[in-house]
Every structure is written in C-alpha cells, then in structure tokens.
Structure 1
Amino acid sequence: MTESGAQALFDKFGTYILPGRVDDPRRGIEEAQEAERIGLGAIWISERFALKEPAVLAGAVAEATNKIRINGTFYATMRHPLVTASIANMMQAMSDDRFGIMFARAVPAYMKMMGTPAITMERLADYISIYRRLWDGETVSYEGILGKFPTLKLTDLHEGRKPPIIFTAMGPKSLAFAGEHCDGVLLHPFVSPTGVANSTKIVRDAAEKAGRDPMSVRIYHNIIVAPDLPKDEEDAVVRGRAITYFELPGFGDLIVEINEWDKAVLDKVRAHPKIASLNGKPADQAYTREELVDVGQLLPQQWIDEGAAVGTASRCADQLMQYLAAGADEILLHGAAPKDMGPLTSELKRALGGKGL
C-alpha cells in the first residue's frame, strides 16, 4: 500500500542537484540517488560551464537512478541546434523517457562577454520549432535569425515520448512566451504565492490566446528551502543566494514587480559597497553565498517569509503548500541538499495527505 502523500510528493516535488558552484561534480550522482530514495520525483541540473555540463550529468544520473525525472538547463545559443536536439533525443532513449529540457535566457551581458548571440525570444521560438520538427522525424531546412542550416535531420530517432520543453521566466513577456510556445514554465526563486498566482494567469491566458489548452502548460516553481538548518547556513542558503538574484538589474526588478513588493529595497542592495564595486559583473561570479550574507541582511523579513521556505521542516512544508494552492503544478526545491531534506519530505507527505492528494 502506498504511503499517504507519497505519490503526490513524487508527482509534485523535485530538487536541484549541485546547487551553486561545485568542485566535485560526482557528488551530483549521489544527490540524485538520495533525492529518489526520499521520494522526490525530479532532479534539475543547471548549466554552469566547466564542472556543471548538463548533458554529461544527465547521462550519468540516468544510469544511476530508476524512475526520477531529469531536467537539464541549456543556453540555446551556445550549441548548434542539431547538437541540442540530439542530446535530448538520446537522453530520452537513455533514461526511458524521463528527460526534460529547459531553456534559460541568461544575463545578456554574460552572453555578450562570451561572444555568444543574446538569447532573445525570437531566437528561442525558432530553436524550439527546429527541435520539435527534428524530434518528429522531419528533415529541416532553415534560414533566418539563427543563421543558415541547409539540411538538419536526426538520423536515428528515439520513438518514445518527445522531450518536454520548459522555459524559465519572470516578466510578463517571458511568461506569455512560455504559454505560447512551451510545455512548461519554471518561475524564478523568491516569487511569492501572490507572484505565482499572477504569473500563472499570464501563462494560461497566453496559451489560450494562442489556441492551446491552458492547462497543458505545466507551472513549475523554483523555491529556496532551508529546513532545520543552523542559522549561519540558513542565512547563506537564503539571504546570500537571494542577493545574487536581487542585485541584477532587470531580474530583481521583475521579481519585485510580480510580487507587488517595495522596489526601494533594491536601491539599498545595489548601493552596498560589495555590489556597487562589481561594475555590472554578476555577484555569484565574484562572491560565495557566505560572503553575501551581510548584504542579505538588507532584505525585509517579509521577502524571506513569502519568497522562500525557512524554519522547521513542518513550517517549510506548510509554506510550500501555499505555492501549490496559488497555482504551481510542481515545485523545485532549491538551496538545501537532498541529504538535508528527509524530514522535509516526511512533512510534505503529511501535508499532501492531509489535503487528500
């Protein structure tokens, strides 16, 4: 007999492996196995060049696990479209149809620094169209904003489920794009329950306007969790990481707008000497989370209470249920490692079972 809430936990909750900067990527395999052991249904892999290559990690995790879903983040303009389509095609074959591919826009200045085309929505729409046509077995001839590709084809096509395409979005235009073009949308960390409800409406309305089933677009929410952590570790996981989002021009502003929070706080954060001295360089490229805790103290407690899940495992579980009630279909737990989430998953099963889920 299945434990109460266990299936809902598997269906509705996943976690990042290897959050932040890493020096030993092999640890990600153990984290994925632990996530599966404690009942989570998905692992997510972000892209950070050098030691967090999502294609390699996804393949390793597929062989080390049995049923957990595997989502890999890619910067679309960094790879030839045939390469990206092939990775997803092969990952479905390797994992028994457990793979999902997510696209992120990245900070434009970061892409420019690498000499890579900006990830605009116009480019993404064309990439997505090419991927889907390739997965359908078509021979694709393309000339447009991405360049010229006379003949693209996946010679050996996996016949199983097509990889779902997820887009990470914050602002109204990005959310609407996801509703029009994607199978799912991942909301940004520190989006509050109010922000989830506001974002979900934008996505669903855009899908309907595009002639799609609004409920066919899955709403994923990325939430920083710090269950039962020591205070110094909690501050690094939550406040230190938060600064890496809020200090970014555009990114921080969009989060505050969608949550209906006070924008004046961002001016204080960006005026802090550690941030002001960066001259546009992202904070997470210059500092560790621990080194940003002092800047994080500028954030109002309300932002932490509404935008993250902090405190006892029981309190975190109750907070996470609020995001589901606001419209999230699935939650990505971020911040704490899977080895620290056992008590949280037990509390989540309690809360989910209590709702009859």
Structure 2
Amino acid sequence: MAEKIQVGLASDPLNTTLSPTALIKANYLTAVSSGIDSLWVPDHLNSLLARAIATPENLGIARVVPKVDAYLEPWTILGHLAARNRIGRLRLGIGVTDAGRRNPAVTAQAAATLHLLTRGRAILGIGAGEREGNEPYGVDWHRPVGRLEEALATIRALWNSQGQLVTRDSPHFPLRNAVFDVPPHRGRWPQIWVAAHGPRTLGITGRYGDAWFPGFPQTPDDYANRLDVVRSAASDAGRDPMSILPATWLFIITGRSRDDVDAVLDSDIARSFALNISADFWARHGVRHPFGDDFAGFSDVLPQTLDAADVLAAAAAVPRKLMEAAFLTGTPDDIVDQAAEWRDYGVRYFVLGNLSVLQPNLRRALRAGVPLGRILRGLRKL
C-alpha cells in the first residue's frame, strides 16, 4: 500500500482590524473543513514583504491587515487555538522558529508545554533563521548553522535528561547544572522538523531531525537529491534513514479561473515576494537578480529597509517563468497535478502557504479561499 500523503496549511499570525486572531481562525477553519492534518504558523518578528509597498493600492488585504509587520507571537497563538477550538484536533506546528533568536532551552520548554496542552499534537519546526528576524534586534548573526546544530543538540539533551541536571559544553548554548522537568506526553516529545537546504544543514537534519522540512525554492529533482543526503547522514549516525519524514513547505498561487491566477502573477506585490528567491535560483532560470549575484534570498533580506521605488523597480524585473518555477501556480487541478510530481520525487507531507492574497483586489483575494480548499482536499487523495 502506498504511504499516505499528509497535508498542512500555513497561516501568518497577523493582527487584523477585525480581531487579533481573525485571520488565523479563518485558516484554522479552512484546514478543519478540508480534512487535512495540521496548521502551521511562522515565527517572525516582521514580514518578508516590504512594508513600503504593502499598502491598499498594491495589497487589497491591507484594508483589514493594515500593518504587514504586525506579527503575533506564534507559541501564544497556537496555545490560544488549542484552548479555543475543540474541533478538528489538528496538529499544530511552528514553521519554523529561529535557532539563535530564542534560547533552545526556552524553545524546548515552549514546544513541550504545547505538546502537553494539546495531548501530543505539537510539532517543533526549527531552522537557522533569517537576518531580518535577528540582526535588527541585536542577535548575533554570525555562524547561524553552528547555532542550529548546537540548539538541536541542546534541546535533545534537555528532553532526554529525565529531570537530571545537565552540564554540556557548547560554543553557543553551554549548560551548567541545567534542569528540565517538563514531561513528555505519554513518553513522546514533539517531533522536530528541520528546515535545511545546504549540505551542512542536511547532515544536521539526518542526525537530529524527525522530519526534513525545506522551504522554497527548489525543484523536485533538487528535493530528491537532498533527501538522499539527509538519509545518508541519518544512516551514518546510526539512525533509520527511512524514519525521517520527507516534508516540504510550498507556496501556491491559485484562483477560481486562469484570470484570477494571472491577476496575482502580474501584481507588483506578488512579484516583490519573488525577490526573496536567491540569486542562484534566478541564474539557473537564465535571469540575474536585481539585488546582485551574491544575494542569498529570504535568509539575507532586510525588507523593512527597502523603499517603495526600489522594490517596485526590482519587482518589475521578475519574470513570469521564475514565479512559475518557484511556486505552484494555476487552478486547483493544475496545482494538484504539480504537487503529484513532488510526491513522485519523495514528498510525503505537504505544507502549503497561500500567496493568492498578494494582489490589489481584496474581493479576489478573499475568493481564493474556495480553490484553496479544493487543493487541500485534492492533495489528501494523492
């Protein structure tokens, strides 16, 4: 029997004019009604969109989300959802937290607490993080991959300590007679999903992760090759390589018709989001990134420092073919067909982020929730 495909929906925990939780509650209900497995929130202090153009003339939903940088704290939001929503029993994941901005002992405590409160439904997604959520706040941004590895080792050491004092040398997070006594739920800790792309982080995933959880952009062939690296690293560490769940975070642009899809793909705000794609990925598709040949993408951008004229000029250089390569785009049937290719290259858990709201027309943006539900239900049948 083929392994079951699982599906999650990502939702930005943004404050709205209606209520602080209106957006995430709507997405929670979409996830429940679609019969999928999980809901995810990112851990950001501010947006990856440039606030300078996230205005009503460019972004229709700015009428209800007037401040695109007004991100709410994710663990608090998930605790609220768990307490206020008794239907669905969705798993709740952080996708993903920074290894350096939060001390790993605090992350271990937050994840274990949510796991107990939800009776075993918490997932800890973790990665090296992004410059925009660290450097502006005084967090050291040197050696983020080293911090990721040490954070994972620290979390595992605390969770495995059985309440005994822990002393552990580490260049980033040393422990001296540290105690961790929050219990696991029925003997099980939250799964750790590691966001990894480069060779070193893929190896870290194989040693410490329960799931591999890369984001964008890559191709299905890239995914399959990197999954082999993760599994080889797991085997080298004495772990069962097939025990690591192959997951991925994919962004979609959809609509009820091709015209709806084109309205997003042609919008300045959606094209500006594609500026978060690395110069290397641009070059592989025959175009040069406006921010330079060494631009590392979302991990290196400081969107709050960009002015409107520069962002709009750079967005104008984003070709349609690049967006179609980086995101799943089209009507629901188109997107399910594209996801099927990823399944054939190894993905067993899809987490979708819906970029269809990135357009000037508020009504069209809100209507995109209908095809989103069709996509979620379609993925469950793959």
TM range (shorter): 0.7 to 0.9
Tell me which residue corresponds to 1:121: 145
Distance in 2, Cα, partners of 1:142 & 1:339? 52
Tell me which residue corresponds to 1:232: 263
Deviations 1:315-346 (A, max 9, x none): 11111111111111211111247973443443
C-alpha distance 328-256 of structure 1, shift in aligned 2 (>3 A): farther
C-alpha distance 310-349 of structure 1, shift in aligned 2 (>3 A): same
Tell me which residue corresponds to 2:88: 66
Amino acid at match of 1:61: L
Work out whether residues 97 and 127 of structure 2, in 8 Å CA contact, stay in contact via their aligned partners in 1. Answer: yes
Tell me which residue corresponds to 1:249: none
Q: Which residue among 7, 21, 43 is the counterpart of 1:13?
A: 7
1:285 positional shift: 2.4
What SS does the corresponding residue of 1:77 show, helix, strand or coil?
coil
Work out whether residues 12 and 41 of structure 1, in 8 Å CA contact, stay in contact via their aligned partners in 2. Answer: yes
Aligned ranges 1:61-140 → 2 under 5 Å: 61-63=81-83, 64=85, 65-72=87-94, 73-108=96-131, 111-118=134-141, 120-136=144-160, 137-139=162-164, 140=166
Q: Please, which runs of 5 or more residues in structure 2 have no aligned partner?
A: 46-69, 358-365
1:99 positional shift: 0.7
C-alpha distance 281-220 of structure 1, shift in aligned 2 (>3 A): closer
Work out whether residues 316 and 344 of structure 1, in 8 Å CA contact, stay in contact via their aligned partners in 2. Answer: no
Q: Which residue among 307, 312, 319 is the counterpart of 2:331?
A: 312
Tell me which residue corresponds to 1:270: 291
C-alpha distance 209-293 of structure 1, shift in aligned 2 (>3 A): farther
Query: If the length of structure 1 is used for normalisation, what is the TM-score?
Result: 0.79
Aligned ranges 1:133-148 → 2 under 5 Å: 133-136=157-160, 137-139=162-164, 140-148=166-174
C-alpha distance 143-202 of structure 1, shift in aligned 2 (>3 A): closer
Work out whether residues 120 and 185 of structure 2, in 8 Å CA contact, stay in contact via their aligned partners in 1. Answer: no
Amino acid at match of 2:264: E
Q: Indicate the percent of aligned positions where both proteins have the same amino acid.
A: 20
Between Structure 1 and Structure 2, the one with more helix by share is: 1
Give the alignment's Cα RMSD to 1 decimal: 3.4
Amino acid at match of 1:70: L
C-alpha distance 164-289 of structure 1, shift in aligned 2 (>3 A): farther
Aligned pair 1:215/2:242, yes or no?
yes
Distance in 1, Cα, partners of 2:212 & 2:235? 15
Distance in 1, Cα, partners of 2:156 & 2:209? 11
Work out whether residues 207 and 239 of structure 2, in 8 Å CA contact, stay in contact via their aligned partners in 1. Answer: yes
Q: Please, which runs of 5 or more residues in structure 1 have no aligned partner?
A: 247-251
Work out whether residues 214 and 249 of structure 2, in 8 Å CA contact, stay in contact via their aligned partners in 1. Answer: yes
Work out whether residues 11 and 24 of structure 2, in 8 Å CA contact, stay in contact via their aligned partners in 1. Answer: yes
